[in-house]
Amino acid sequence: MVVRKAFFVLPLLSFMIQECLSADPVLNRGSFPKGFVFGTASSAYQYEGAVKEDGRGPSIWDKYTYTFGKVIDFSNADVVVDQYHRFEEDIQLMANMGMDAYRFSISWSRIYPNGSGAVNQAGVDHYNRLINALLAKGIQPYVTLYHWDLPLALEDKYKGWLDRQIISDFANYAETCFREFGDRVKHWITFNEPHTFSIQGYDVGLHAPGRCSILFRLFCRGGNSATESYIVAHNVLLSHAAVADIYRTKYKATQNGSLGIAFDVMWYVPSSNAPEDIEATQRAQDFQLGWFMDPLFFGEYPSSMRTRVGNRLPKFSPQEAASVKGSLDYVGINYYTTYYAMNDKRKIVSVLLNDAMADSGAIKIPFKNGRPIGDKASSIWLYIVPEGLRSLMNYVKSRYGSPPIFITENGMDDPNNPFTSLKDALKDEKRIFYHSTHLSNLSASIREDGCDVRGYFVWSLLDNWEWGAGYTSRFGLYFVDYRDKLKRYPKNSVQWFKKFLTPTALDN
């Protein structure tokens, strides 16, 4: 009897949620200021495929994925969703929804197969075609210069981001992009989630190039988890500053564009009202967003980092600090979830890891008293906490003087269950709820709290290859059929966004 009731009640509940959200008379494009940008986001390595075509050189992720056991489903990114060949089809999907912009990344090794040296004209031609096709449909390109796919040649030559030589090589690559594409690209993102690739690639070893020393080096052949992520992050900040100086000195006057960085940011709430947990929550944020934002806005790392990391934390010279400070035109925020934070008073994490992750002295978990902080998506780390986005916007406004903000990624995933029918896979009411509630909180942060937020990018347009998770996770608004020629099918969220983005007479 209970089972029969469930079969009746669940479809009814799903229908009610969908009807309620689709009929929302308040939340629509007009809930945001005039000129607010809506778009979708992607990255070259997760979308393009064609890894051996038209002169592209290998990246560190190619080597990493070809190493047994690094990707959960043993897949690689050789083909992914084949946007290299199908970008015109995908641009039409964006246009059909009414999207204003597309955030994508350029593959460094398509422009410079060896990281430096001779330019690969075929790579330049490809991105020219992509940019021109976007503009022809009225969609603005937002271009990320580095989304984790470092040319393997630079890793082999001098260990990539661990060596200061990377600063000049990245600056040379960035300037080539400004020169070739800057007449049409007005929004540049130098780096995507520097915190993620610093920690995942050089502390815990779960991303390319897979360096670590934690747990007796069970997972990595080389690395130092106590120092390398700090060195990488430092070189990233200096690289951004060098690129910003080049752009402002040589290109901004004629191209009239701007530069930002897309930061991965969890919001943290104290697990209790105890002062030690409140302080730990701030430290957790210092070691995440503050790690990068404080140098960019104040010229130095957070005091908690300087105190707790000591000599392992690189120092800026006065000239370097001056170059980094103020080098950001806008802040990109990739927000997905919120966690609780508490003081690691028993030093559990530091004993287990002895790495940069433990240096904050904060434990971050999505549970309190056995209860999750929100409904869970498919990914083990992703819980749905839309109010965290509003809190985060207010934090950035308060701490950093109300800079311009773009939500450069926001989204949730469903599992890639081979036993789920296509018909059922397209019914993504939870995704509609996720975006509706996050957009509602974002609108409130602008209209009620005065936060200067200027755009929102959905992760992601299509289901795609999700790094170490491979094809096990589906974040897309469009379902990609990996078993039938990568055909794209609109999920219910596509129709929701199409209605949401349709201008009305009441829009500002």
Partnered with residue 267 across adjacent β-strands are: 338
pLDDT of residue 473: 97
Which stretches does DSSP call E strand in 42-196?
101-105, 140-146, 187-192
- Cβ(155)–Cβ(211) under 8 Å? no
Other beta carbons within 10 angstroms of residue 121's beta carbon come to 12
Question: Is the link from the previous residue into 314 a cis peptide, with omega within 30 of 0?
Answer: no
What would the two tokens of residue 2 be?
Answer: 């209970």
Burial 364-394 (b: 16+ CB within 10 A, else e): bebeeeeeebbebbbbeebbbbbbbbbbbbe
Alpha helix segments (H runs only) across 23-120? 44-47, 60-65, 83-97, 108-111
What would the two tokens of residue 406 be?
Answer: 């773009």
- Cβ(438)–Cβ(410) under 8 Å? yes
Q: State pLDDT tens for residues 425-461.
A: 999 999 999 999 999 999 999 999 999 999 999 999 9
Residue 76: inside a domain:
yes
Residue 508: inside a domain:
no
User: Which of the residues 48, 155, 228, 409 is marked catalytic?
Assistant: 409
pLDDT of residue 351: 60
User: Which of the residues 193, 228, 429, 466 is marked catalytic?
Assistant: 193
CATH classification of the domain holding 458:
3.20.20.80
Q: State pLDDT tens for residues 71-89.
A: 999 999 999 999 999 999 9
- Cβ(104)–Cβ(141) under 8 Å? yes
pLDDT in tens, the chain (508 residues): 333 333 333 433 443 444 444 334 579 999 999 999 999 999 999 999 999 999 999 999 999 999 999 999 999 999 999 999 999 999 999 999 999 999 999 999 999 999 999 999 999 999 999 999 999 999 999 999 999 999 999 999 999 999 999 999 999 999 999 999 999 999 999 999 999 999 999 999 999 999 999 875 777 989 999 999 999 999 999 999 999 999 999 999 999 999 999 999 999 999 999 999 999 999 999 999 999 999 999 999 999 999 999 999 999 999 999 999 999 999 999 999 999 999 998 877 666 667 888 999 999 999 999 999 999 999 999 999 999 999 999 999 999 999 999 999 999 999 999 999 999 999 999 999 999 999 999 999 999 999 999 999 999 999 999 999 999 999 999 999 999 999 999 999 999 999 999 987 555 4
- Cβ(277)–Cβ(270) under 8 Å? yes
Q: How many domains does the chain have?
A: 1
Residue 450: inside a domain:
yes
Give the angle subtended at the CA of 183 by the CAs of 179 and 184, to the nearest 5°.
120
2's CB contacts (< 8 A; 6+ apart) are none
- Cβ(239)–Cβ(190) under 8 Å? yes
**Which DSSP state fits 56?**
P
Residue 8 to residue 191: CA distance in whole angstroms = 48
pLDDT of residue 503: 80
Residue 448 to residue 284: CA distance in whole angstroms = 27
Question: What is the domain range of residue 310?
Answer: 32-501
pLDDT of residue 26: 76
Residue 24: inside a domain:
no
Residue 82: inside a domain:
yes
pLDDT of residue 219: 79
Burial class (CB in 10 A: 0-12, 13-18, 19+), 137: middle
Burial class (CB in 10 A: 0-12, 13-18, 19+), 123: buried
Residue 239: inside a domain:
yes
Residue 67 to residue 203: CA distance in whole angstroms = 18
What would the two tokens of residue 347 be?
Answer: 């030093």
Residue 341 to residue 338: CA distance in whole angstroms = 10
Residue 309: inside a domain:
yes
Residue 18: inside a domain:
no
Whether 193 is catalytic is yes
